[in-house]
Amino acid sequence: MQLIDGKATAAQIKAEIAEEVKQIVEAGGKRPHLAAILVGHDGGSETYVRNKVLACEACGFKSTLLRFEDTISEEELLNEVEKLNRDEDVDGFIVQLPLPRHISEQKVIEAIDYRKDVDGFHPINVGRMAIGLPCYISATPKGILELLRRYHIETSGRKCVILGRSNIVGKPMAQLMMQKQYGDATVTVCHSRSRDLKKECREADIIIAAIGQPDFVTADMVKDGATVIDVGTTRVPDATKKSGFRLNGDVKFSEVAPKCAYITPVPGGVGPMTICMLMKNTLSAGKKEFYQ
């Protein structure tokens, strides 16, 4: 069993990005600038946005954090998005999800200029990704592809089972894994209504678990020699931790790991790569790599 070290891989890629930014700035170019909108005080969201700001510093990017109370109206938030669309210094920006219930996430996502949509959530980027055109690709699926590539894990023609069908992970992951230029795999998407989910998993060469249920994937669901990618990051109470909680993946690591050829840990697997791929997209935005 080989552990896929997402933390180390992300650190290496961030160093590569920082080197490229240094070259750009030395040649008289502009430092990439990422802005983030954070609404409210959700503990997870606060951590994730802090991770993003720190990663910007590591890459040599400029970052701007805009914070609003959860009493902000949808109209006011849409107005803030419009301001960032028009700000010529901002190359890319994100609106941290989830948003309060009185605000439509879909409306906000569609208000973002697709040329600055470094999360890759705008329908134009989603559509372009689905037909294999250059675009911003959502950070978690992009990070998983990067891990598979850097660890030389064969995906072409292999059976890949994706657990979960969210717009952020499951759906784009399936699109990418089936495409010739990315995964080139045979893809099955399973979800809460799937019959024989265990059987589908047992036949998989690669399992990508993104359902948000701690310890959902157990040893009896995994074929010997499979690769298991754990996207889960559920916060569960843990009295032994200073913070009072720990991150728990979708995979019961202790019993699944011994059966695997490769497996990602939680924490330190997919999570750091998600942040890192947001940085890659921001670098592309700074370079106007896809648009304009």
Burial 106-143 (b: 16+ CB within 10 A, else e): eebbbbbbbbbbbbbbbebbbebbbeeeebbbbbbbbb
**Sign, CA torsion 235/238/242/247:** negative
Nearer to ligand BQF, 36 or 111 (CB): 36
Nearer to ligand BQF, 39 or 185 (CB): 39
Active site (annotated) includes residue 119: yes
Active site (annotated) includes residue 288: no
What is the C-alpha separation between 70 and 230, in angstroms, rounded?
31
Tell me which of 5, 91, 117, 119 is the catalytic residue: 119
Shortest spacing between CB 97 and ligand BQF, in angstroms: 6
Tell me which of 52, 142, 171, 252 is the catalytic residue: 52
Q: Which residue's structure tokens are 């959530």?
A: 121
Shortest spacing between CB 131 and ligand BQF, in angstroms: 26
Query: Are the C-beta atoms of 60 and 24 separated by less than 8 Å?
Result: no
Shortest spacing between CB 230 and ligand BQF, in angstroms: 9
Residue whose Cβ sits closest to ligand BQF: 271
Active site (annotated) includes residue 213: no
For 267, the 3-state DSSP assignment is coil
Question: In the complex, which residues of this chain contact ligand BQF (CB under 6 A)?
Answer: 48, 51, 97, 233, 247, 266-268, 271-272, 274-275
What is the C-alpha separation between 280 and 58, in angstroms, rounded?
12
Nearer to ligand BQF, 185 or 247 (CB): 247
Shortest spacing between CB 94 and ligand BQF, in angstroms: 8
Tell me which of 96, 142, 175, 252 is the catalytic residue: 96
**Cα 134 to chain center, whole Å?**
18
Nearer to ligand BQF, 43 or 123 (CB): 43
Residues catalogued as catalytic: 52, 96, 119
